[in-house]
Amino acid sequence: MIQYPHCKINLGLSIVAKRADGFHDLETVFYPVGLKDILEITPAKNKETTRFSNSGLVIPGDSNNNLCLKAYHLLKADFPSLPEIQMHLHKIIPMGAGLGGGSSDGTAALKILNALFQIGLSKDQLMVYAEKLGSDCPYFLYDTPCHATGKGTLLSPIECNLSNYTIVILHPGIHIATPWAFQQIVPCKKDSLISDIIRQPIQTWKQNLVNDFESPVIKSHPIIGALKNELYEQGAVYASMSGSGSSLYGIFEKNKKYQKSDLTNCIRIDTI
C-alpha cells in the first residue's frame, strides 16, 4: 500500500509558555501544502524480518530512529499479531526545514498499517499513537488548515483558503535543529491570537503575523533574512519562515512569478 505524505507550512508561530513537562505551549495555524514524500508498506516476504529502506534525499542518522519504523513498533507493541513488513520511503520533502516531512511520514505509516492489516483504529485512537510519535504528527491526520495550541496537538479546523494564490517554498539547504531553536526563545503571551490574525485580509499579515523562531534563526543565518526580503521584493503578499526553519515560503498572487534567487543555491518549490 502506498501513501503520499504531504508537508505543511506554519501561518504564524507563537511560543507562549514553557511547560512543566519540558515542552512548550504554542499557537500556530498549520496549512497543508502539496509537496509530498512517497511511502510504501508491504507484508514481508516468506520469513523476512521487518526492513526499512529509503531513496531520494539522504536521511541522516540511524534508520532505526526513523518515525516510520517507530510507528510500526508502537503498533506492534499493542498488536503483537502485526506481521513483519517491508517499508520503503522515497524522500522529497527537505529535512530540518520546518515543513514537518518526517512527522507526516510517521503518521502516514500509522494510517497505512491500520488500513493494510485492518487493525480497526478510529481517528481518535490514531491521534493517541501520533502524539506519541511527535508533537506535529497528529496534524497529519487532517488534510485541512488547523489552529493548533498546547504542544501543537490540540487541533481544530479553521477557515483559511489560499487556493487563489501560489505558494513558493525556498529551502536554502540549512538544517535547523529544533531543540536549538527553542533554546533561543523567551516564551510570552501575545496581544493578538494567530487565529484572529489569519481571519483578516492577507494584505495585513505582513504587519501582524509573526513566527517567533524567525528572528533568532535569521540572526544566526542572515541568508534566510535576505531570502525573505527577496520574496517581498518579487511581489509576495506575505512571506515567512515555516516552523523552526530553515524553509521560507512566499504567498503570491496567481499572476506573479518568482524568479530563481541568485543569493544561494536554494531549492525552489512551486506548490498550490
Overall pTM surpassing 0.85 (yes/no):
yes
* Comma-separated ranges of CATH 3.30.230.10 domains in the chain: 2-157
CA torsion 84-140-153-175 (nearest 10°) is: 90
Query: 37, 105, 136, 212: which one is catalytic?
Result: 136
Reported as a single tens digit per residue, the pLDDT across 246-269 is 999 999 998 877 776 666 566 677
pLDDT of residue 50: 95
Question: Which three-class secondary structure state does DSSP give residue 234?
Answer: coil
* Comma-separated ranges of CATH 3.30.70.890 domains in the chain: 165-271
Q: Quick check: is 21 catalytic? A: no
pLDDT of residue 157: 96
Query: 8, 36, 91, 228: which one is catalytic?
Result: 8
pLDDT of residue 13: 97
The identity of residue 140, as a single letter, is F
pLDDT of residue 64: 86
What is the fold, at CATH topology level, of the domain defined by 2-157? Ribosomal Protein S5; domain 2 (3.30.230)
165-271 falls under which CATH superfamily? GHMP kinase, C-terminal domain (3.30.70.890)
Report, as ranges of residue numbers, the positions in the chain whose pLDDT lies below 50.
none
3-state secondary structure 73-98: HHHHHHCCCCCCEEEEEEECCCCCCC
The residues, any chain, with a CB within 8 Å of residue 210's CB and separated by 6 or more, are 12, 13, 14
Sheet with strand 238-241: strands edge to edge: 238-241, 248-253, 165-171, 267-271
pLDDT of residue 264: 55
pLDDT of residue 263: 65
Q: Quick check: is 136 catalytic? A: yes
pLDDT of residue 261: 62
What whole-number distance in Å separates Cα of residue 168 and Cα of residue 46?
Answer: 45
Cell of 211: 513566527
